Structure 1
């Protein structure tokens, strides 16, 4: 199954076009490798998705073309959620 379709059907990302944009920006990895929207997702794959200052890592449990809203969370297991440290810009001291 295509990555963008999996993200939409599983409801990890609400819209397929948004899933495609996020993938094309290089914010999704499959098993540690950057993935495009057309990448193939298989059961057992580990997805890492960067949402702003948060990274969600999920394992793919099930592939289905359609699923009811209350069953969508059966398609994956959240392994971890991490907050990224906000990097403060360094100020340049011009008083020299």
Structure 2
């Protein structure tokens, strides 16, 4: 069997490196998505079940911050229930 040249070996290593970098990028994106989902789940849980001071302040904070953060109409529609002004005498929590 013919021995590979240094150039061939370097080309193979470059291809392996590119494959590993792509795999790492994919894993980093997956981790980022998972962190966002879990953080969102925590926020929604606190909105629905939290009884502490932070949980009570969360709806007002979201009503202030979300409109400037959300840019797509479809995204804004997803949060209509959170962005609506609280009903008079309500506790600011979305209906369950």
TM-score interval (norm. to shorter): under 0.3
The structure with the largest helix share of the pair is 2
Bigger radius of gyration among the two: 2
Give the structure-2-normalised TM-score: 0.22
Instruction: Determine which structure has the larger strand proportion and give its number.
Output: 1
